[in-house]
């Protein structure tokens, strides 16, 4: 091209560009709903009650939909297991619905096909296998759904060779073995934390790993209103630092391999304090467990173990011992013994509320099955919600097993590791698209209903089985929705209710839950032989020579959530690390091995080798390393290659487990860990205040005077409302559900590990975690930190373009279209809560990813500052609704996403101008303080300092009126 | 500069016309005033033609169905909220689904081609793609509810819709339109309204 022609074209294109810029903007079209539906009001949110199920647990939740697409998940007040809060992963899982990596259609040999063709192929293969009397294997998760189980039972009648294997890779085999040995069945009673005055968690993490109701029950006892109110006492004996451990009143170091010995020593101490042993167990059995010796063996001062024993003994009938899933069976047996001595059953352990669990397959069962498959003895295998190619330790065996199985099908949400080994893959609905029912407790049924039409060419997994039934036995329906309703008509309603079935059905659909009369359950009896066997084994136990490795359940569960960017980027509440798992070591061990954060090491255990980065974890017991499950996937655009697959090490026992004598060898390489909080120590400042009960009482008698600093700024004129928040640090356990709910509500982008390393995490709500003291007396201080909506906000006067201003109602407003990105405001913010869009994190997104956005909140472009708005969209919505109703706004009208998601009800939001509002009362609470009040910025958030309830142990002085001062 | 181009050692080939700058005198006397006037005129014209009020007011796209507000809202006196029924339930006033049209048109003017189009849309459950007339700028959230509840007439912002054969945009939706009324809403409100001022916080609309 000549220069002249180039210039001609350049000029022409500039002219055309200028010309087209003069035409009017395309305003698009409005597509009203084709049908007039009572629910379809554009712009109005509709909520549906449905059920989130994961492993053995199910929770009824409310799904908020806008224009027919789910955008937010919150708790259902009627669900006793959630108590109004949804579990963190349920809130985050709305993102997986719109995951672009979802399997969008069925596959035959990896190629796209129609559902009907795939089903026809399966029917043919299964009928052939059945005719040849070959076993047909169905591998699923725990399936706490009665109708699903009825469906499998129906199918088993047609296919006599059907074997149903229920396998949960993150349910501990050891725990199950101990239950079976001690009680002869697998009923798991529900812990009732609200009744426990003394609580001992041995490597257990009920606050990090339990139901929202557990956190609520715990938190309820941590905020005494009056001086006379009782507070529970939480003892934690653990090797790793868990969320529960960070909340403990007293934390004891533990060698997990010797946990059973510690528990038996405790039993002996309790017996010495006059608690009778269960029938059939003699005191001689406990003779080898000399409490003082065993305390020293674990590095616990004997006085502390004695204090623990007397505390538990004094709280008999209101005491509870929880044993973590990763501990060996003997420790679980010892835990059952302790609970029996403390009369926990029917008090703090609700046996009547137990889940009926017939046996889940253990790792050994699955191995036996795969070995049978590898010999070619199995005619057909169907994997439904199970991914053995990832979560079974021996990938080679899975490959061999599947290669020799003629019909291998997977019903899956993603094109996961198992799908790629199967000849048939059925694209399944997400749970928000499906029908279903669940029985989380014997007296509770919950319904699951779709909140939108399917996004892709998917069907419910049940339809595969129903079609099999239909083709093989000629049953009527191939639609699971129909099957479910029919079964409910027949078995649940069954004429027992005074209303006709249709009305009954709609009422249960509306509520989401159905309470049924509980059937009384016989009390269980501890088998003395099991205890004797475990005690004799524990008496012989010696400390490991090498390193003990705890494989723990992580935030990604069994890896099914690993493609969820929200969960990957949610900082672990304790380590504050994002994206991937790490091998945590104690500071002393790391120092001994010359390792620091991010150093890559090779872990060798039972023949398997993994290379993972090291993280030096304060508060971790010496001689113990921990590694979380759920990472190291080989598929998924987000998950692939993030972290290491700890399932590969679990060669002998399934689920969270303890591996003894693991050898680690440093490598020369290292990585930079993507941490959300590079600074760990509180450095003696009183940002996060935590005091003991005794100090609190003294402060009440003589309140310290904290005067407001002088200011030159004029005070704001009183307006009709003043929005403020109160956060009770005593109730907050740091679970981070608020952070995920905020991310979902406010369209907060995921930035990826590289940007996290540069400190560009975008969370508006973060949980700060600080350490105080040395490893022996480590205190963990946790604090939710968000924009404090200061009355004299330092960010406002420095903005050169007035993009951040103050509203008459006390909100520190952010106007995105004014912001030019100077970042002066973030630099001037003492709380470091402002977030800058360094890159265009959302602009490149296309459907289906964009469908998860909340249409009430702007999606911020590159170069714009953002921060917590106190969910101003919810304030404005409540204001409009109040105006339509012709009434003033009332306390409780506005609940920001974080407050709604908090299981502990630690966050309260409201109007300070209403003196009767909950938040106004909390703002006057004697525990209240404001973070960095000395700066005179007048934050709108009142923190209530944490109360701890340490036992009276002599020697150590914890008398420090300044709160957290003195390290 | 001129030296470089016109100098004897210039490499410019002879067959190209030689570019010669006019003398300084001509520049100062003629080109400078002409250039100044031209630039000023251009700025003024561009500014005039692109000012938002001029550009957006009167925008009246043709709709897929020649629906006449003059007939329905004017002559037949159908209340606005009969069709725009979400106005008290959500922030959008909403465009009605074809079911609402067919409430009357199942029996009225069933043989008109436009009505047949609507009937077809109802039968196939395929929505009609109406051209949007009012489009708020980015980052602005407007809620119809408080305004309607306060007694502000639709015509205050949307103009005399009941006289329009084709709906056209009457308000340019600039921030001044909103703020002017929010700071002194009396003209828009019914005479007996107790409201004297509406909020003018940024977060009232921007979030």
ipTM of the complex: 0.83
Tell me which residue range forms the domain holding B177.
Answer: 85-94+131-207
Angle between helices A329-341 and A173-183 (to 10 degrees): 50
3-class secondary structure, A397: helix
β strands within A575-623, DSSP E: 583-585, 599-605, 608-616
Residue A888 touches partner B, C-beta closer than 8 Å: no
Tokens of A311: 């505390």
| Short-list A858, A817, A821, A815, CA closest to A837 | A821
Q: pLDDT (tens digit, 9 = 90+) per residue, A853-880?
A: 999 999 999 999 999 999 999 999 999 9
pLDDT band, very low/low/confident/very high, at A16 (cuts 50, 70, 90): low
Please compute the mean of the pLDDT values over residues A17-43 and round it to a whole number: 74
Residue B175, in any domain of the structure: yes
- Looking at CATH, the fold of the domain delimited by A690-948 is given as Alpha-Beta Plaits (3.30.70)
Q: pLDDT (tens digit, 9 = 90+) per residue, A317-343?
A: 999 999 999 999 999 999 999 999 999
Residue B138, in any domain of the structure: yes
Residues of chain A neighbouring B126 (CB-CB closer than 8 A): 34
Kindly determine whether residue A28 and residue B132, on different chains, have CB atoms separated by under 8 Å.
Answer: yes
Q: Considering only residues A624 and B14, tell me which one the structure prediction assigns the higher pLDDT.
A: A624
β strands within B111-163, DSSP E: 130-131
Per-residue model confidence (pLDDT) at position A187:
82
Kindly determine whether residue A31 and residue B129, on different chains, have CB atoms separated by under 8 Å.
Answer: yes
Q: pLDDT (tens digit, 9 = 90+) per residue, A736-763?
A: 999 999 999 999 999 999 999 999 999 9
Those residues whose C-beta lies under 8 Å from the C-beta of residue B41, and which sit 6 or more positions away, are: none
Per-residue model confidence (pLDDT) at position A957:
39
Rounded Cα gap, residues A165 and A369, in angstroms: 9
Q: Which part of chain A is CATH 3.30.70.20?
A: 690-948
Kindly determine whether residue B50 and residue A883, on different chains, have CB atoms separated by under 8 Å.
Answer: no
Instruction: Provide φ and ψ at A907, rounded to 5°.
Output: -105, 125
Which of A34, A808, A879 shows the shortest C-beta gap to B125?
Answer: A34
Which of A42, A813, A857 shows the shortest C-beta gap to B92?
Answer: A42
Q: Distance of alpha carbon B176 from its chain centroid, rounded?
A: 15
Which of A32, A879, A880 shows the shortest C-beta gap to B94?
Answer: A32
Tokens of B38: 């031209």
Which of A29, A33, A43 shows the shortest C-beta gap to B131?
Answer: A29
Per-residue model confidence (pLDDT) at position A19:
54
Per-residue model confidence (pLDDT) at position A14:
67
Q: Considering only residues A477 and A939, tell me which one the structure prediction assigns the higher pLDDT.
A: A939
> Does the N-terminal peptide bond of residue A848 adopt cis geometry, omega within 30 degrees of 0?
yes
Rounded Cα gap, residues A825 and A215, in angstroms: 36
Please compute the mean of the pLDDT values over residues A408-429 and round it to a whole number: 93
Please compute the mean of the pLDDT values over residues A601-625 and round it to a whole number: 91
Q: How many domains does chain B have?
A: 1
**Within a 10 A sphere around the Cβ of A885, how many other Cβ atoms?**
11
Q: Which CATH architecture has domain A546-670?
A: Beta Barrel (2.40)
Per-residue model confidence (pLDDT) at position B14:
61
Paired strand residues for A459: A428
Per-residue model confidence (pLDDT) at position A961:
37
Q: Considering only residues A188 and A829, tell me which one the structure prediction assigns the higher pLDDT.
A: A829
Kindly determine whether residue A817 and residue B137, on different chains, have CB atoms separated by under 8 Å.
Answer: yes
CATH number for domain A37-98+432-521, candidates 3.80.30.20, 3.30.210.10, 3.30.200.210, 3.20.20.70: 3.30.200.210
Tokens of A465: 């089985």
Rounded Cα gap, residues A74 and A427, in angstroms: 27
Q: pLDDT (tens digit, 9 = 90+) per residue, A107-117?
A: 999 899 999 99
Please compute the mean of the pLDDT values over residues A418-430 and round it to a whole number: 93
Cβ pair A229, A197 in contact under 8 A = no
Residues of chain A neighbouring B125 (CB-CB closer than 8 A): 34-35
Q: Considering only residues B4 and A696, tell me which one the structure prediction assigns the higher pLDDT.
A: A696
What does the DSSP assignment read for A293-329?
HHHHHHT--HHHHHHHHHHHHHTTTSEEEEE-TTS-H
Q: What is the mean pLDDT of chain A?
A: 89
Instruction: Provide φ and ψ at A102, rounded to 5°.
Output: -60, 150
| Short-list A262, A218, A257, A254, CA closest to A237 | A254
CB-side neighbour CA atoms (13 Å) of A72: 30
Cβ pair A372, A400 in contact under 8 A = no
Residue B7, in any domain of the structure: no
| Short-list A243, A248, A233, CA closest to A734 | A243
The DSSP bridge pattern shows strands A812-814 and A865-866 to be unpaired
Q: pLDDT (tens digit, 9 = 90+) per residue, A763-811?
A: 999 999 999 988 778 899 999 999 999 999 999 999 999 999 999 999 9
Rounded Cα gap, residues A570 and A800, in angstroms: 33
Kindly determine whether residue B122 and residue A856, on different chains, have CB atoms separated by under 8 Å.
Answer: no
Q: pLDDT (tens digit, 9 = 90+) per residue, A931-957?
A: 999 898 999 999 999 999 887 765 443
Rounded Cα gap, residues A908 and B54, in angstroms: 49
Residue A880 touches partner B, C-beta closer than 8 Å: yes
Give the alpha-carbon dihedral of A876, A880, A882, A888, to 10 degrees: 70
Please compute the mean of the pLDDT values over residues B72-95 and round it to a whole number: 92
Mutate to test the interface with B, among A21, A24, A32, A853 (most CBs of B within 10 A): A32
| Short-list A320, A284, A307, CA closest to A197 | A320
Which of A29, A43, A858 shows the shortest C-beta gap to B130?
Answer: A29
Per-residue model confidence (pLDDT) at position A608:
86
Q: pLDDT (tens digit, 9 = 90+) per residue, A207-236?
A: 998 899 999 999 999 888 776 777 899 999
Cβ pair A809, A721 in contact under 8 A = yes
Residue B161, in any domain of the structure: yes
Per-residue model confidence (pLDDT) at position A793:
92
pLDDT band, very low/low/confident/very high, at A705 (cuts 50, 70, 90): confident
Per-residue model confidence (pLDDT) at position A6:
75
Q: Which CATH architecture has domain A173-355?
A: 3-Layer(aba) Sandwich (3.40)
The DSSP bridge pattern shows strands A69-75 and A106-108 to be unpaired
Those residues whose C-beta lies under 8 Å from the C-beta of residue B13, and which sit 6 or more positions away, are: none
Per-residue model confidence (pLDDT) at position A223:
86
Which of A43, A807, A858 shows the shortest C-beta gap to B86?
Answer: A43
| Chain A: residue whose CA lies nearest to B134 | A27
pLDDT band, very low/low/confident/very high, at A18 (cuts 50, 70, 90): low
Tokens of B129: 């793609």
Those residues whose C-beta lies under 8 Å from the C-beta of residue A86, and which sit 6 or more positions away, are: A52, A59, A61, A62, A73, A74, A75, A76, A212, A737, A901
| Chain B: residue whose CA lies nearest to A38 | B86
Please compute the mean of the pLDDT values over residues A30-44 and round it to a whole number: 83
Per-residue model confidence (pLDDT) at position A967:
33
3-class secondary structure, A815: coil
Report whether pLDDT(A358) > 90.
no
Residue B29, in any domain of the structure: no
Residue B143, in any domain of the structure: yes
Q: What percent of chain A has pLDDT over 90?
A: 68
3-class secondary structure, A374: helix
β strands within A811-914, DSSP E: 812-814, 835-836, 865-866, 907-911
Residues of chain B neighbouring A872 (CB-CB closer than 8 A): 203, 207
Rounded Cα gap, residues A190 and A214, in angstroms: 10
Cβ pair A691, A948 in contact under 8 A = yes
What does the DSSP assignment read for B136-191?
PPTTB---HHHHHHTT--HHHHH--GGG-SS--------HHHHHHHHHSGGGTS-T
As a residue count, chain B comes to 207
Burial A175-190 (b: 16+ CB within 10 A, else e): bbbbbebbbeebbbbb
| Chain B: residue whose CA lies nearest to A30 | B130
Chain B: give the shortest CA distance to residue A699, in Å.
Answer: 40
Q: Where are the alpha helices (DSSP H) in A427-557?
A: 462-473, 480-487, 501-511, 528-540
- Looking at CATH, the fold of the domain delimited by A135-171+360-424 is given as Rossmann fold (3.40.50)
Please compute the mean of the pLDDT values over residues A295-303 and round it to a whole number: 88
Q: Which part of chain A is CATH 2.40.40.20?
A: 546-670
**Within a 10 A sphere around the Cβ of B30, how many other Cβ atoms?**
11
Rounded Cα gap, residues A733 and A360, in angstroms: 31
């Amino acid at each position: 091209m000549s220069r002249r022609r180039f210039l001609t074209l350049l000029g022409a294109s500039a002219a055309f560009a200028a010309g087209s810029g003069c035409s009017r903007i395309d305003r698009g079209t409005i597509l009203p709903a084709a049908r007039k539906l009572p629910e379809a009001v554009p712009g109005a949110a509709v909520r549906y009650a449905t059920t989130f199920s994961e492993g053995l647990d199910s929770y009824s939740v409310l799904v908020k939909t806008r224009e027919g697409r789910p955008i937010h998940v919150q708790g259902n007040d009627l669900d006793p297991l959630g108590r109004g809060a949804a579990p963190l992963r349920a809130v985050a899982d709305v993102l997986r619905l719109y995951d672009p990596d979802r399997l969008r259609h069925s596959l035959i040999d990896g190629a796209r096909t129609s559902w009907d063709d795939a089903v026809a192929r399966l029917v043919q293969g299964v009928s052939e296998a059945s005719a040849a009397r070959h076993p047909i294997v169905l591998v699923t998760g725990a399936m706490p759904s009665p109708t699903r189980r009825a469906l499998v039972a129906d199918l088993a009648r047609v296919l006599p060779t059907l074997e149903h294997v229920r396998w949960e890779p993150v349910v501990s085999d050891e725990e199950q073995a101990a239950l079976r040995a001690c009680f002869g069945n697998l009923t798991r009673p529900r812990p009732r934390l609200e009744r426990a005055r003394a609580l001992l968690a041995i490597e257990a993490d009920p606050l990090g790993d339990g139901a929202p109701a557990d956190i609520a029950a715990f938190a309820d006892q941590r905020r005494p209103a009056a001086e006379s109110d009782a507070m529970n006492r939480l003892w934690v004996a653990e090797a790793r630092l868990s969320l529960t451990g960070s909340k403990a009143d007293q934390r004891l170091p533990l060698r997990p391999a010797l946990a059973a010995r510690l528990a038996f020593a405790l039993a002996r101490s309790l017996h010495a304090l006059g608690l009778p042993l269960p029938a059939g167990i003699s005191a001689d059995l406990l003779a080898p467990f000399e409490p003082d010796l065993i305390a020293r063996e674990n590095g616990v001062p004997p006085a502390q173990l004695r204090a623990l024993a007397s505390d538990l003994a004094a709280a008999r009938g209101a005491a509870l011992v929880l044993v973590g899933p990763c501990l060996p069976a003997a420790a679980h047996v010892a835990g059952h013994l302790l609970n029996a001595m403390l009369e926990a059953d029917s008090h703090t352990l609700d046996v009547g509320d137990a889940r009926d669990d017939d046996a889940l397959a253990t790792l050994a069962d699955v191995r036996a099955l795969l070995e049978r498959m590898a010999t070619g003895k199995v005619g057909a295998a169907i994997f439904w919600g199970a991914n053995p190619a990832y979560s079974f330790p021996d990938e080679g065996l899975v490959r061999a097993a599947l290669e020799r199985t003629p019909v291998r099908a997977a019903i899956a949400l993603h094109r996961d590791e198992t799908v790629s080994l199967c000849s048939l893959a059925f694209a399944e609905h997400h749970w928000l698209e499906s029908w279903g029912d669940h029985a989380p407790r014997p007296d509770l049924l919950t319904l699951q209903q779709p909140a939108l039409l399917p996004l892709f060419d998917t069907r419910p997994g049940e339809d595969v089985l129903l079609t099999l039934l239909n083709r093989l036995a000629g049953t009527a329906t191939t639609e699971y929705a129909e099957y479910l309703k029919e079964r409910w008509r027949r078995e649940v309603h069954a004429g027992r209710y005074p209303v006709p079935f249709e009305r009954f059905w709609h009422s249960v659909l509306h509520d989401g839950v159905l309470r049924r009369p509980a059937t009384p359950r016989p009390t269980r009896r501890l088998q003395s032989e099991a205890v004797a066997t475990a005690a004799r084994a524990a008496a012989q136990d010696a400390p490991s020579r090498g390193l003990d490795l705890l494989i723990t359940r992580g935030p990604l569960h069994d890896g099914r959530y690993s493609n969820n960017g929200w969960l990957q980027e949610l900082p672990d509440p304790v380590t504050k690390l994002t994206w991937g798992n790490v091998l945590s070591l104690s500071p002393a061990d790391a120092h001994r091995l010359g390792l620091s954060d991010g150093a890559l090491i090779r872990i060798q255990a039972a023949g398997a080798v993994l290379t993972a980065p090291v993280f030096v974890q304060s508060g971790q017991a010496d001689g113990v390393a921990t590694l979380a499950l759920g990472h190291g996937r080989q598929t998924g655009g987000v998950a692939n290659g993030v972290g290491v697959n700890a399932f590969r090490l679990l060669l002998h026992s399934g689920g969270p487990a303890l591996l003894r004598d693991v050898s680690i060898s440093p490598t020369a390489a290292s990585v930079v860990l993507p941490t959300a909080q590079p600074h760990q120590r509180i450095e003696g400042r009183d940002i996060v205040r935590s005091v003991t009960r005794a100090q609190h009482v003294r402060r009440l008698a003589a309140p310290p005077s904290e005067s407001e600093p002088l200011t030159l700024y004029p005070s704001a004129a009183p307006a009709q409302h003043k929005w403020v928040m109160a956060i009770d640090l005593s109730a907050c356990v740091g679970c981070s559900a608020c952070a995920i709910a905020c991310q979902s509500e406010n369209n907060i982008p995921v930035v990826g590990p590289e940007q996290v390393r540069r400190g560009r995490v975008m969370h508006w709500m973060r949980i700060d975690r600080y350490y105080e003291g040395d490893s022996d007396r480590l205190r963990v201080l946790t604090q939710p930190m968000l924009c404090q909506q200061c009355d004299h906000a330092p960010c406002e006067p420095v903005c050169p373009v007035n993009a951040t201003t103050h509203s008459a109602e006390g909100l520190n407003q952010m106007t995105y279209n004014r912001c030019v990105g100077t970042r002066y405001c973030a630099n001037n913010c003492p709380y470091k809560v402002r977030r800058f869009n360094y890159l265009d994190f959302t602009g490149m997104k296309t459907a289906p990813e964009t469908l998860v956005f909340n249409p009430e909140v702007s999606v911020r472009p590159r170069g714009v500052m953002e921060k917590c708005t106190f969910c101003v969209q919810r304030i404005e919505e409540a204001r409009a609704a109040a105006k339509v109703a012709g009434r003033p706004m009332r306390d409780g009208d506005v609940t920001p996403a974080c407050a709604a998601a908090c299981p502990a009800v630690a966050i309260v939001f409201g109007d300070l101008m209403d003196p009767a509002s909950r938040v106004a009362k909390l703002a006057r609470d004697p525990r209240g303080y404001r973070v960095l009040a000395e700066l005179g910025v007048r934050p709108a958030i009142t923190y209530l300092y944490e109360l701890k309830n340490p036992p009276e142990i002599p020697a150590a002085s914890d008398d420090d009126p300044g709160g957290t001062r003195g390290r | 500069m001129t030296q470089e181009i016109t100098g004897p050692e210039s490499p410019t080939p002879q067959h190209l016309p030689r570019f010669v700058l006019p003398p300084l005198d001509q520049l100062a006397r003629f080109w400078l005033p002409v250039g100044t006037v031209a630039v000023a005129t251009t700025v003024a014209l561009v500014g005039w033609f692109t000012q938002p009020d001029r550009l957006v007011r009167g925008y009246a796209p043709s709709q897929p169905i020649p629906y006449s507000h003059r007939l329905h809202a004017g002559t037949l006196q159908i209340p606005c909220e009969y069709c725009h029924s979400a106005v008290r339930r959500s922030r959008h006033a909403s465009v009605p689904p074809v079911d609402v049209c067919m409430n009357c048109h199942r029996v009225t003017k069933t043989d008109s081609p436009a009505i047949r189009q609507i009937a077809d849309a109802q039968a196939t459950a395929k929505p009609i793609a109406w051209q949007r007339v009012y489009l708020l700028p980015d980052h602005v959230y407007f809620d119809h509810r408080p305004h309607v509840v306060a007694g502000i007439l639709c015509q205050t912002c949307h103009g005399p819709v009941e006289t329009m054969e084709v709906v056209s945009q009457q308000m340019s939706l600039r921030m001044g339109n909103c703020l002017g009324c929010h700071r002194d809403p009396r003209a828009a409100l019914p005479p007996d309204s107790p409201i004297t001022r509406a909020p003018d916080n940024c977060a009232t609309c921007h979030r």
